[in-house]
Structures are given as C-alpha cells and as structure tokens.
Structure 1
C-alpha cells in the first residue's frame, strides 16, 4: 500500500489536496476580497508540487480567478534563498495575495518581501499550506490549513482489510481532511508575542538544559563513546524518553549485518535479529532473539483493540541495517519531529560499532597466539577447540582443563626485572608443551596463568598429562641454575562436550579451583603465624583484654551501609571497640580472646549489647537494619540465645548476623546458625568474602541475605581486571540466587563508580562515612549525589524482581526491607494491605495493583523516586482501590488509573506527587490515554505538580465510559506547567467533574491552559461549598471551560472564586466557541483578567447562557477586546446580584 504516491498495479491512497486549496482560496476571496493572486511552488519537476499547483488552479478557477504562467514562481521549497522569488513577484506587480505551497515557503517569502519594504499583510497577503508537515508556524501565525491525515488513514486501512479478506473496497463516508488556521499574514490575527518570547527563551542556554533540541543533549556523543554494541544499546535505552509514552520499541537487524564489510549493503535477510527491545517499560539487550522476517515482529503487543506499529528503515549511508518498529499501542499517537534525527543518531552509533566489530574480526583472525610464549591465547583456544568439539553434542567425550599458576612471578619481576620473569614464562611454556597430550592445546590466559586443554573418552578417561606435568614442574626447579625457585599451583576439571558454553565456563572453573588451592595454602600459613603469636604476647594487653571481657567493657561504633542506587542509609554495622584506660584494636581483642579460649565471651557480649542497644534506640535507627558480627565456631548456648531472642523479639527482623571467619566452624555449628535463622527470623550475611575460610561452600550452605565482599578485593578494583572479574562473579551469583552484594572498605570515587557499574547493591567504607559512636541519619550530600550520578547510567541494567503479596495474614510490608532484598516492584493481590516506609528514605519501587481487585492499600511515610519510566502506582484493569495516605507520602511518579478502574484517595496524611516531563500527569493517564474514575477525599493535604509539553494533574486524555472526577477534602494545591495543560479534566471527550467542600489552589504556566474542564469535548462541572484560588499565565488561559462547540454545563453554589489570569486570550468562566450553560448561586467572585482579548464570565461570540443569582464580588478586566460579563443579551440573567464590574481602569 502506497500513501501519496501512485504505483502501477499497487493500491495507493492520495491526500485530497483540492479540499485544502479550496479552503484557502475561499477564505481569501470571501473574507479579504482577493482578486489577483500569484503562486509560489516547489520544484517544477516535482510530482507532489505539480499536484498541489493543479489543486490551487482548480480552486481559483472556481471563483473566477485565472492563475496564469507569469504568476507562478518555482522555488526549492524547504531549503533555499527566496530573494529571487521576491524580486520576481515585485517585478511583475504586487498582487492581492501570494499563495505558497508550504508554510516553510511562506516564511521564506515573507522574510524576502519584508527585506524589500513590502509590508505583510498591509501590502500583500501571504498564505501557507500543510501546517503540520513537518513544522508548525506558531511563531509568526501564518494563515494556512492544518492538514489532517485521519481520512487517509481510514482509507488505507479499509483498502488493506479488503485485500486481506478478498473483498471489494467500499469507501467510508468522507470526513473533513483539513482545517483553516487564520493568522497574522492575512490580517485576521495578531502577532503571537508570547510564542515569540518563549522561542527566544528556549534559545537561551539557561533555559535549554533538557529536551532533544537542547545544547546539552549528549545523545550522539554518549552513543559514540560506547565501547561495545551492548553498551551502546543500553545507552540508547537511556534516550528512549525522547520518544514519548510508547508501548513498544524494537530494533530488528539483518542477520549477521554487524560482521559484513562493505559500504553498500541492501535488502533484508530472511531472519531478523532483535538486539534491543523495550515493551511496557522493560528493556532487553542481547542477541538471542530472532524471527522470520515475514512476521515483521517477534511478538505483538497485548491489546483488546487495534494497535498501530510504525516501521522505519534503519540505515546509515548506503548500509541498510534493518528496521525499527515503534508502537504507541492503541492510543493513536505518532512520533514527533525529533524521531528521524533520533534514529540517525542511533544508526550512526551502530555504524561505528559495526566498523569496530569488523576490525576486531580481522584482527582476531590474525591474533590467536601469545607473542611471548608462542602458545595459543584464549581466542585461539576457542577457535581450535571449537573445531575439535564439532556440534558439542557428544556426551561420550569429556573436555579436560589443567590450570597452572606461577605463584611468585611478581616477586621475580620485582627483584630480577621483567625480562627475567619473561624467561620463566617462556620456559614454563616449554614445560607445558612437553607435558601435553598429542591433540592437547596449551594456552596462556594472561600474566602468570596457563592451562592445558584436551578431550578424553568419557568411558575410559585415562589421562597421563597431570602426572607428567607434575614431574616436569618439579624438574623445572631442580635443573635451574638460578638462585630462586618457582612455585606453581594447579587444578584439574572436566565436563561433558554437550554445550558450547563450556569453552567459557570450564576455564573459569579451573581457575577458581586453583584459586581455592592457593587460598587453602595461605590459610595454613596464617594459621602457623597465629600459632607462633600464641607463644609471644604482651602480658599487659592480655591482662587488659581479660578485664574487658570480665567487666563487659566493650563498646561499639556504627558505620552506615548505604544503597548503591540512592545513597540513602539502609543499615549500620556495629563495630567493636574497647572502653576503659587501655585502648585495644578489635583484632588484638580477638587474638587474645582466642588465645585465652574466651571467644565465646566476645560472642555473648556482642549479641547482648547490640540487641539491647537497638531495642533502646529504635527511634534513632528508624527501621534500618543493624549488622552484628558473630563467630559461628563459638555460638551462644541455645537457652541463652533463646532468652535473648524472646526478650528482644520486636527487633529480630531488623538484625543481620554477620559471620566472621576468624576460626573455621564445624558443619554442626553452621547447621545451628541455619536452624536459629529459621526459628527466630533474623537475616544472615557472610563477612569478608574472598579471604580466609569464606568460600563458595559457605555461600551454598547459608544462602545468605547478603554477602560482603572483602576490602582486599575492593581496593583499587578500578585498576585490576582480575579483581573486577572475581567481584563480578560474586555479584552475579548473589543476584542469581536472590541475595544482595555489599562492597566493604570503599575509599575512592573510582572504586565506587566501578562497583556501581558492576551492579553492587550496598556500599560501606570511609568514602561514604566513617564509624562513629552515634547513629547518623544521612551521609555527606556530595557523596550521596555522586552515588546517584553513578547509578543513573546503570539503572537500565537492573534486573526486574517482583514481590507478590502472600496470604491474608501478611497485612503489612516494610518497603525498606523489600528494597534490601532487591525487589523492584510490589504486586498487590490482597484486599487490605499496608506498606510502610521510613522517613527520609526514598525507594525506586513500583506498586502494581492486580486486575479485578476491590481492595484497600495504605501507604505510610512512603517516598518513591523518579528513577524509572513506570508510574509509581499502576491500578490494574477493572480494579477498585481505596488508597489511604498516612504520614507523609511523596511520589515522584504518577498514579496510573486506566479506563474501567477506580481509585479513591483518602486519609489524614500529606500526599505530594511531583512528576517529570516523562509522564506529564499526576493521577489518571497521560494525554493519550483513557482514564478511569478518580476520587480525592483526603482529610489531610494534597500537593500535585505536573510538568510536560501536554500536562494534566487529575484526569488524562479521554475519560472512559462512566468515568468521573470527584474531589472533596481539606486542602488541594496544583501546579501545572507545559505547552497545553489541564489541571482537572481531560484533553478529549466528555468528562464529569464534582468538587465539594474543598480549599483548592491551582497555578498554570503554559501556552494553552484550562483550570477545570475539557480541551476538546463538553464538560459537566459541579462545584459546591468550595474556595477556588486560580492563577493562570500564558497565551490562551481559561478557568472553568471547554473549547468544544458542543454544550457544557457548569453549576456553582456557595463558592468563593479568586481568579487571576494574564495572557493573550483570557476567559474566566465560559467558552469561546461552544455553548456553556453556567449557573451560579450565592457565589463570591474576585476576578482579574488581563489580555489582548479578555472576558470574565461568558464570551462575546458564543451562544452560552449565564444565570447568576445572589452573587457578589468584583470582576476586573483589562483588555482592548472583551468585557467583564459577556454574551448575547438575551442569554444573560442576573438576579439579586451585587457584582462590581471594572473594565480597563
């Protein structure tokens, strides 16, 4: 199906240009008595411009005006200098009007004529055409037609459906396809100074810190800086906010296109790859998803009705990468003018990645051997071993890897120089080659790491290589003439050849097993050192420790543990200190206690003291967790521990027991830990992971709530790839098994940035806060902001994790606890639930209400951040929710209420909703959505702030069937900013609004704005016993209003209305185009309306009916066109009113 282009034997749809031309011509002739016209076209050879010219010829001929050849001037349209066109117009005699083929051409002609002293419209009228394609001409108000593509869309879909069904196409009833827009260039309107002022302000740097056109838009630079395709796609995800409220976006690439060289790639592959997709706010990056191109998409959006998909070719130069698919669901929305440039930025970054990948392919093919030793590198190993393994579907074969590590290479390099170390590595390579089997591969991984890989028969896995290697390594030192020996660690692992993944996993497993061997050897060294230290000690220290333990002189400092997403404090660790005259370090206390056999006293004092301290200072901790160090080899006796837990059973869920592996625990002692956790409900953390006795077996045994990565792995992690690799595996393992990873001892910003990028959950260290004897409530603001800054770039990589509410007995949830468990959203299925937050703690969670649920949700001191593009609360389909507000509830994302659903907000707390331009609404839906019923009935206060190009505080685009807005409460404040805004109501279709017994304050800053009502359909507004304070500033501003031509009703009773409006077109109460039946009884008006055209109540040209009874107050109007109370005399009725009307004083 072709649109606006005729193709032989292919169905097409053409726009009715005749209707647009006829509309402009009739306006010029009937309203301005134009008789002489010239026409400025685009290129003479352009089919489109020929068709447009013919339409205007016919329209002019129909009113008796002949457009001769000397009155037609051809330009370039869209680009170029119109000086020559202007000269030709003047040379041939200035006509009554100049009709241009487009608004852009009209703007160029106006400028060129004005430069030559021709005044518009005094000397000549100028009109444009096709206002919305692609640029509006608001700034200079060109008289033009607004082309509406709906009729073309209906015809295109009708023809397509007829083709699919094999039926004959039956044209739909014709509907208007354009609308006349009167402007200043014909004399019907005045210059739009507010729009000019906004345009000037938008061009200033101080006002251009956001938006696609902003100088600060870093999209192309950010995408080009990506080091890999995956990184580029995640960065691209961060810029999808520019696409608006879309439901789905897919990048579909030709299979293998990123590896195909050449400057000209055309067509599409039979199978398409989807490296990036984002559906309902959830982004995915990867190369696993592919589909048959005939399907166009791997999966459609779920919808009960028709859904629109916008498909664009994704190309850069002459390289066709594939196509993109964008969908705004069933909203009927379309992308804006920035989308094409957005795609170009994306395609340019993709082209850069393709060139890098092709370069890497070439280089990698040439580099499969290590230059120093001549052994295969890892790339070579994968290539050669992959060929040997074939399809990886042979369980009768085993892949065997023997990993080798030179322990003291760093010492050799330090003492004898790197050249000597290189000689050791070269000699070791020879040993490996001499030890390997006939078909084995010897590999140098990096630095001092090597391995031998080969295949064995699974039924008879005879392998002589390990013994041969061991003999040769022993000979290595015997035959050397050097005055140093070389120490080696080895490990051996096998796996069946059933998956290609073993090329990655098996070398890593061998490396890990070898690391455990090294750890165990180091452990024996440390144990020997400790045994020696037992014999040599300071007797005074020993005596002091005995006194500390006898008199319980232990005290504690508290170091904050903060969220790696927000920088908020979520927990503290209680760190042991000594009181009394002699100050000893915790290590010294533990060493002496161990030597005296009194570690059990340390354990008892620590547990009792910190349990008691938390209980006594609960208000100070504010619900945050407390980490307590424990020694599992010295547990408290069961009876004592049970008494302790029973005494403090109200805080057990706030405690996290850390197990410090100073001495190795037996399996029985570890079992006791697990048994107590199950019985008493405290949480468990593994401390110092990566050193000592802490190893993977402890993770598997405990399955803790948190693993603390030791400082030795964290220190300078930004400079050490090995540490990053090991730490990343710990973090990934933690997340895969649903517990959190904490980084201990973070002291540098570079360490912080690296760890957050790796997905760490919690941060502890001197960088965030030092231990202190008092519990602090917040870390340094600069460090907190740095954490947020680092987290922004990593936010899109967060794994989605949903908490499903359980049985009816689970009636209360702690929000911080769920965040601590790394949950990203709460799915509410219960009829009565309370979610509790903590003061000053901000969560990133999303609350989803199940479909068809009739229930109550209470939020108490809950704060939800704006670190997501999903609403803070999502009401399910056909659900009825009573939302109770207790304490202070602050949402930085909106409450989504779809058509067919209902929310009733109650409570005595304070509700604040402050949404960004991403959403543009507070309660309901955005301007493209259909909203349900909304009730705001709070005894407390509500503050709503909406900011976006098209914003709504309460309401949305269209009201669903039987939807309403009902407000009554103590105090409601609203601030709405944007281009086109509505505070309470909808942008389209009829909406019912009731406001009763409320103190309501509304402030609008916008181009076009309505306080209460509808932008495009009738409104039914009833306000009673209410104080309404309304301040509006902008272009076209109104109070209670509807812009539609259909009849609206406004009922006011016993209200006080304090209204101040300033702008170009002002209406306090009424409608400029439609019929408003306004009834006010016992109301007091204090109104100030200032503008070029301003009316207090009613409107001069409308058929509105106004009935005021027993009303008082004052209406002040300052305008050159307007009045205090306007309307046709017969339609205005005032009974027993004392309203002072003041005009232009």
Structure 2
C-alpha cells in the first residue's frame, strides 16, 4: 500500500539531466512506497515575461497539504525572481521536509550537483594519461556556484599535481557555445604559446571552442586537446567524439529522495557520494573507446511513422483541432490522438471554469479522463467540474503500487487555460520531448478554438445588435408628438389612412425546392405602394397608433382573398403569411379569417419570428388558431438573436427559416457554415424542413445547398413580385439542379475507403458526412486498421469489409 506522496518542482522535465533525475527520484520513492508528483515548466525560462508567467503558473496549482515532502530542482527554474517567491510560498504553506537542489536556501536544506569530483577526474586524465602540463580552464558565469566549484576542482587538481595555475589560463563564459568562440579569440590574442589542453565546464562551450579552433586552422587534438563536462549526445556524436564526464543525474534524484525520507524520520541527511565516470572520446588525444559509447535504443520495434505518432508525416492533430468550433469537438479530437503518447498509463486534461485565464479557478472542468487499462472509466466532458485543490482525484484512490504523475500547464502567453496530467504508472520516468511537443500543440490548438468561439460570439453579438435595431424599431413607446418631425407626422397620418382604407398591397416571393428548383411556396410580403414607407415603418407607426391588430387582420383577409382569386396559380403551392403574435382580434374578424384558412389549410403556413415571446394565454390562442385549423407553422429569422432550442420545441414548426444574417457570405465563413450545418441537422432529426432565406449570390446558393437545406428563398432565386410567377429563371433552376446533383454525389460518396492511414477516427468521419467505412485490401497503403472513437460519443456509422480483405482490425 502506498504510504504517501512526494512533490518534485522543476523546469524542462524532458531535458537529459532532469529526465534522469526524475527517473532516479521515482525509483527511490517507489521502492520506499511513495507516489511522486512532478510539476514541470516546459522550459527553464521563456523569452518573454508573459510566457514566463503562463509556464510557471503550474506551481500555483500545488496543494501542499497533499504531500509528505517536497524536492525543488532550483537551478532548472530560472524565471527571474520565481525561485525566491516559490521558496517563500512553500515555507508558509508547508511544514514537512523540503530539499533544494543546486541552491542555498534561507528556508530549507540543500545540496549541490556542482561536479567538483567530475572536473577533478577529467583534469587528472589529461595530466596522468596524456602527460599534459599546461592546461587552461573555461568555466561558466563568475557568480554561479557551479562555475566556482568546477574552477576550484581544476585549481585543486593542478596544484595536487604540482602544476602552475596561471591567471591567463582561466576564462569565464556563460555555459553556451559562443563562450567557446570567445575563449579561442582570447587565447590567440595573447600572442603566447597555446596550452596543451583546454578543459571546459560543460559540453556546449567545448563544442563551440573546437568549432572556433578548426575554423582558424587549429587541429583538435593534434595541436590542442579539449574536454567537456556533461557527456551530451551532441558531444558523443561530434566528428571527433568529445571526451567528457557523465553527470550522475539519476543518482542525484535517488539521493534527493533519500534526504527527504531521512528528514521525515527525524534523521540527518545522508552523505553524498558522487560517482564519477568519464566518456573517453578522441578530442583529448585518446583513441575513441567505442565500447564506452552508448546509443539510446528504442524500447519497441515500432516507430513514430509506423504508428502514426506525433512526429509522423501523417500526424494531422493540429489541422483537426483547428477545424473545431466547440470545446466538446476539440476535446474529442484531442482524445482521439492520445494514442500518440505511446505507453502511457493515464492522461487527464483539466480546464479553467468560465474561461478564467488568470491563475486557476476554484473549480476546473475534468475535460478528458483516459486510463489505458480502464476503458469504462474513460470520458470526455464539458460538465464535470471538480475542486481545483484536489488536483487529480485518482491520487486519493487506493493503489497497491506507487505511481508517478507529471503535471504541466496548459497556457498561451500569460493566459492560463488549465493543466494536463500524464502518468506512466509504476514505470519510473519523465515525459519526453515528443510529449512536450504534443501537449504544447494541444495548448495552441485550444487557444485557436477559444478564439474561434469568441469570434463567433462577437459576430453573433454584432448581428444581434443589428437585428435588434431592425426588429424592435417598431416597439418603442408611443412617441412624444412634440418631438415628431413634420415628415414623420405626415408618414404616420398616411399609415393611418392606409389602415382605415385597407389599401395595403402584397407581393409574393417564391420559395424554391433545393431538389429541383421548382417553386414550393410563396411568401406574402406587405407593401404600402409608397416607396418611402417600408414595411418596418408601417409596423412602427401602426404600433404607435395602437393599430397592429389592423395589420394582422388586413394581412390575413387580403392574402386569403388573393389565394381564392388565383386558385389555379397557387395550386399545389404553399403560401407563407406573416403573423404578429399576441394580437387580439375582434370575434367577427377572427371568424372571417378562420373561415378563409379552413378552406386553404393545405396551403397556408403561418410565419412567426423566432424572437416572438408570447405569454402563455397568447400561445394557447395561437396554437388553437393554427393546429385546430390544420395550419402549418414556420419560425422565421432562426439562428441569431434569441435563438434557442426551447422555442422550437414549444412551437413544433414544420419549417425553420434560417436568418439571412447567417447566410450572407456564408461561403467565406466557416463559423456560419458550422452553425447552419447544425441547424439543418437538428431540423432533419425533428422532421422539420430547413429554409435558407436571404440567398443573394451564386456562391451562397451553392454553399447552403451543400449544407443540406431543403428550401431556398432570396433575391438570387427570385425577387418579390406582384405577379404570381409559375417558374423561376431557367438558368437559376438549372444551377440549382446541378448543385443538388453535386450534393447527392457527395452523399453517395459518404463511403470512406480505408487504406489511406492506419488509424480511422469515427468522430472526424461523422463530422465530415461519412455514413459508412469500407475496409479494402487491394491497392491500399495500410491493411492493418485501428478504428477509434471517443468515450460517451455514439457514432452511427456502418463498417463493410470487402471480400478478399486480409489484415487486422482493432
């Protein structure tokens, strides 16, 4: 049974030193019965203060009450001032043992991995094996403890061998390649004999120095020997492998855990016994010992390409994330690519509540929960919120074997979106560079999706504002007549006269079927006969005069009269009549309208705006008025403003007219396309016909048809006309037929043929309109196929295995 938990704080957990340190710490902790939770920045320090803030926010997640001990790799956390703030914060919140690595702390005990013994041994190698006497030393920054201690080792070793230590043979750098170039210039500018060798305080400076020498025609090691420190892969694989020292990083990790466990027992820290080992290359003059050269071997025969991993040319995670316009869709994409993480035991993604981006919110959304061996526990959620101070509920569950958990931030610049947790179970290891690339790609993808969502909200807000102004210009309070202009007074008097005389006229705009371009219906549109008096002005003045009832009465009576007078022209066609909800009519008027409707119930469609908010009594009257007379209902202007599903469920219409604000330039706006596609899908699921109104260009027509609308209305297909036209323009009709054929062909092509990749994501196929998968064995690149879905997401898609197929399906 697990005894407790140890927290490890560091930066850049996939760098070689930190990676091996974590491995050692986990091995020691696991053997003692402790879980290890690593909290890691992605880089030791970022290149801007904003990114520093975002990356380092992971340390503010830590609930120290959950831990028995804390280990801080202080020198890997290099954000200015951060380590001081961290130590002070921990001293206030945590009373258990804390050990700081590579930093003297005023609050906690510490130890150094300064490499004194390692430098001493490599300088001794130059003296004792190669007989060198004149040796220079290139150390790091003068103020840094590592620089000082490695310089001390050089001086002590030289003096122990009775060799002179000259001031002009000591050089300071900054542990980077360019320091080597500077050292070469300094040596050559002295005008003296070159030293026998230069020992460097790390491999980076040694590589820079050798490169500088060779550019100046100085051969290494024939003319001068050079050694490094740290045995990096770059040094080992250099044209002449760099003689260097191994850093016992794994030992330091084990030792740090030994220290905090000793403190838990009330004992002193054990003595540090740093092991030393050299990598013998040829830069010192030795013959390269190839048996001492270690190549990192893969654990399995699988490669990134063979498994469509993150580094594979077939990796499309970023493209798939950028296609999403919703968080749920984004989470589904991320979940579908967890396989790229390889042999992980678990992965979790947590997101801040309410789009909070400053630190961590009190609650976080547990968006993704993945366990390699617990399929039933895997989930994707946009509703499951947990307390942030729990960090990960799994930590509280009893488990027989200790495990490691690695927490990293999800951020963009200085905005904190959440955090991720990856676990390799009881395997002692850190994350690797591939995981870092993967999870930072997820963070960037999330930022892009959030911007897409915000852009959609902004567009909706602008559209709603414009729509609100248009819709409600007629719903203002009765104007103060003294404030009314002479022109408005005249217009109001004209409207009153029109209503008294019932001289409103009507034009009819065709509503066209998307299947073949035939006219399905007409919408009756009110006109005054006076160019300056638009329908909106008529409604405005009618409401001011308290005569909206006259508009309602006149519209129904007049339009029904036109239908009866032109029965043959309207034969087989619907007529959409606009209604003003909540208007009470005189009994005699209502009876007259009902009588006319009952004769034409198979033709009349009553159209109400989606924003109409009727009181319960008004709604009951409206429902009786339509349903009792067999009249169909159309909801107008759906998709912006007050749009909600509850309105549709309340009205249960036969037709939904998608607001023209969503249709305008839809071919250039993926957000609008996404909205309209979802509206059409909802309509079709409820046996409702979807009508695109306001179609004014050929491009808009093609796009709405491609999205599956049933009916089309707009100036492009046919303008409103006082005449009842039997057909639309033949050229437009032919265009509609062609578009419909393209749409049908697209649907018939909804069969996804396998073989293009080794992994098929069901969620992506469904979103792209595929309804079935055909598994083929001939003329394909991939025969072995993995078909993956997401937990809790049902995808209705058929799988057909073609005769003759051979391969593996999982």
Q: Secondary structure at the match of 2:393?
A: coil
Distance in 2, matches of 1:212 and 1:469, equals 57
1:755-814 per-residue CA deviation (whole Å, 9 max, x = no partner) reads 8234989539xxx7xxxxxxxx958747x98xx99x98x83536589xxxxxxxxxxxxx
1:1071-1086 alignment to 2 at 5 Å? Answer: none
1:1091-1132 per-residue CA deviation (whole Å, 9 max, x = no partner) reads xxxxxxxxxxxxxxxxxxxxxxxxxxxxxxxxxxxxxxxxxx
Q: CA deviation at 1:343?
A: 4.0
Distance in 2, matches of 1:152 and 1:718, equals 66
Distance in 1, matches of 2:337 and 2:287, equals 39
| Cα distance change on mapping 1:223 and 1:422 into 2, 3 Å | farther
Q: CA deviation at 1:112?
A: 1.1
1:198-230 per-residue CA deviation (whole Å, 9 max, x = no partner) reads 9xxxxxxxx999776677766656545544444
Q: In the alignment, which residue of structure 1 is the partner of 2:372?
A: 280
Q: 1:131 aligns with which of 231, 245, 269?
A: 231
Q: CA deviation at 1:366?
A: 5.0
Distance in 1, matches of 2:703 and 2:626, equals 36
Q: 1:105 aligns with which of 178, 183, 205?
A: 205
Distance in 1, matches of 2:751 and 2:648, equals 26
Question: Under a length normalisation based on structure 2, what TM-score does the superposition of the two structures give?
Answer: 0.50
Q: In the alignment, which residue of structure 1 is the partner of 2:278?
A: 180
1:353-372 alignment to 2 at 5 Å? Answer: 353-365=449-461, 367-368=463-464, 371=467
1:249-305 per-residue CA deviation (whole Å, 9 max, x = no partner) reads 33334433x355xxxx4x433333333343327664433333333322232387422
Q: Secondary structure at the match of 2:245?
A: strand
Q: 1:33 aligns with which of 131, 139, 150?
A: 131
| Cα distance change on mapping 1:838 and 1:52 into 2, 3 Å | farther
* Native 8 Å contact 1:252 1:275 kept in 2: yes
Matched, 1:795 2:799: no
Q: CA deviation at 1:143?
A: 1.4
Distance in 2, matches of 1:221 and 1:755, equals 12
Distance in 1, matches of 2:704 and 2:174, equals 59
Question: CA RMSD, aligned part only?
Answer: 5.8
**Higher strand residue share:** 1
Q: In the alignment, which residue of structure 1 is the partner of 2:512?
A: 410
Q: In the alignment, which residue of structure 1 is the partner of 2:633?
A: 489
Distance in 2, matches of 1:156 and 1:425, equals 80
1:331-730 alignment to 2 at 5 Å? Answer: 331-365=427-461, 367-368=463-464, 371=467, 374=470, 409-410=511-512, 434-436=580-582, 450-451=609-610, 463-468=617-622, 471=625, 488-489=632-633, 506-507=646-647, 509-510=649-650, 513-515=652-654, 719-720=706-707
Q: In the alignment, which residue of structure 2 is the partner of 1:147?
A: 247
Q: CA deviation at 1:332?
A: 0.7
Q: Secondary structure at the match of 2:433?
A: coil
Deviation larger for 419-428 or 291-300: 419-428
| Cα distance change on mapping 1:180 and 1:322 into 2, 3 Å | farther
* Native 8 Å contact 2:367 2:381 kept in 1: yes
Matched, 1:757 2:766: yes
- The higher-RCO structure (CA 8 Å, 6+ apart) is 2
* Native 8 Å contact 2:772 2:798 kept in 1: no
* Native 8 Å contact 1:158 1:169 kept in 2: no
Distance in 1, matches of 2:122 and 2:177, equals 23
* Native 8 Å contact 1:13 1:152 kept in 2: no
* Native 8 Å contact 1:407 1:487 kept in 2: no
Q: 2:353 aligns with which of 255, 259, 273?
A: 255
Q: CA deviation at 1:2?
A: 1.9
* Native 8 Å contact 2:750 2:772 kept in 1: no
Distance in 1, matches of 2:768 and 2:245, equals 53
Q: 2:120 aligns with which of 1, 18, 22?
A: 22
Distance in 2, matches of 1:176 and 1:721, equals 71
Q: CA deviation at 1:124?
A: 1.9
- Give unmatched runs, 5+ long, in structure 1: 199-206, 377-405, 439-446, 457-461, 476-485, 492-501, 519-688, 697-714, 724-743, 769-776, 802-818, 823-836, 843-862, 868-1145
Distance in 2, matches of 1:779 and 1:422, equals 62
Q: Secondary structure at the match of 1:109?
A: helix
Distance in 2, matches of 1:81 and 1:197, equals 28
Distance in 2, matches of 1:156 and 1:19, equals 18
Between the two proteins, the alignment pairs up a number of residues equal to 512
- Give unmatched runs, 5+ long, in structure 2: 1-70, 74-101, 297-304, 473-507, 528-533, 541-547, 553-577, 585-605, 636-641, 658-680, 688-701, 711-742, 753-762
* Native 8 Å contact 2:104 2:110 kept in 1: yes
Question: Under a length normalisation based on structure 1, what TM-score does the superposition of the two structures give?
Answer: 0.37
| Cα distance change on mapping 1:112 and 1:11 into 2, 3 Å | same
Q: In the alignment, which residue of structure 1 is the partner of 2:343?
A: 245
Distance in 2, matches of 1:364 and 1:87, equals 63
Q: In the alignment, which residue of structure 1 is the partner of 2:107?
A: 9
Q: In the alignment, which residue of structure 2 is the partner of 1:88?
A: 186
1:77-114 per-residue CA deviation (whole Å, 9 max, x = no partner) reads 34537433212233444222222222222221111111
1:944-982 per-residue CA deviation (whole Å, 9 max, x = no partner) reads xxxxxxxxxxxxxxxxxxxxxxxxxxxxxxxxxxxxxxx
Distance in 1, matches of 2:511 and 2:631, equals 9
Distance in 1, matches of 2:748 and 2:129, equals 70
Distance in 2, matches of 1:43 and 1:375, equals 70
Q: In the alignment, which residue of structure 2 is the partner of 1:297?
A: 392
Q: CA deviation at 1:331?
A: 0.8
1:500-559 per-residue CA deviation (whole Å, 9 max, x = no partner) reads xx9966446457x545999xxxxxxxxxxxxxxxxxxxxxxxxxxxxxxxxxxxxxxxxx
Q: 2:417 aligns with which of 309, 318, 321?
A: 321
* Native 8 Å contact 2:308 2:340 kept in 1: no
Q: In the alignment, which residue of structure 2 is the partner of 1:962?
A: none
Q: Secondary structure at the match of 2:187?
A: helix
Distance in 1, matches of 2:411 and 2:771, equals 42
| Cα distance change on mapping 1:410 and 1:425 into 2, 3 Å | farther
| Cα distance change on mapping 1:287 and 1:23 into 2, 3 Å | farther
Distance in 1, matches of 2:708 and 2:178, equals 55
Distance in 2, matches of 1:28 and 1:356, equals 61
| Cα distance change on mapping 1:472 and 1:332 into 2, 3 Å | closer
| Cα distance change on mapping 1:172 and 1:223 into 2, 3 Å | farther
1:895-934 alignment to 2 at 5 Å? Answer: none
* Native 8 Å contact 1:247 1:329 kept in 2: yes
Q: In the alignment, which residue of structure 1 is the partner of 2:590?
A: none
| Cα distance change on mapping 1:472 and 1:763 into 2, 3 Å | closer
* Native 8 Å contact 1:435 1:472 kept in 2: no
Q: CA deviation at 1:468?
A: 3.5
Q: CA deviation at 1:310?
A: 2.1
1:773-852 alignment to 2 at 5 Å? Answer: 781=779, 795-797=788-790, 840-841=804-805
Distance in 2, matches of 1:315 and 1:366, equals 29
Distance in 1, matches of 2:440 and 2:218, equals 40
* Native 8 Å contact 1:2 1:11 kept in 2: no
Distance in 1, matches of 2:111 and 2:709, equals 62
Q: Secondary structure at the match of 1:184?
A: coil
Q: CA deviation at 1:72?
A: 2.4
Distance in 2, matches of 1:67 and 1:240, equals 57
